[in-house]
């Protein structure tokens, strides 16, 4: 039987790193979505305050398998 994969686009941020922002996106998405299989970072950006990065931001696509129960 074929699997159906759905993709959602999310935005996330972190004060630590882009990797941490990606992990935050997965953790938040997993509260309402099961079977997450991958994340693709579409865009990275950062907020700068006093010449220092204060927030790392990402726009990402998260894919997950739809249950056929």
* Domain ranges within the chain, ordered by starting residue: 4-66
The pLDDT value given to residue 68: 67
In DSSP terms, 47 is beta-bridged to 55
Element (H, E) at 65: strand 52-66
Is residue 67 very low, low, confident or very high in pLDDT (cuts 50, 70, 90)?
Answer: confident
* Residues 1-29: tens digit of each pLDDT: 678 999 999 999 999 999 999 999 999 99
Global confidence as pTM: 0.88
Specify the DSSP class assigned to residue 3.
-
In CATH terms, 4-66 corresponds, of 3.40.50.2000, 3.30.365.10, 3.30.1660.10, 2.60.40.10, to 3.30.1660.10
């Amino acid at each position: 039987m074929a699997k159906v994969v759905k993709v959602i686009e999310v935005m996330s941020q972190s004060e630590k790193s882009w990797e941490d922002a990606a992990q935050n996106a997965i953790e938040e998405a997993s509260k309402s979505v099961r079977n997450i299989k991958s994340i693709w970072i579409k865009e990275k950006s950062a907020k700068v305050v006093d010449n220092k990065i204060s927030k790392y931001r990402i726009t990402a696509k998260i894919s997950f398998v739809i249950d056929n129960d």
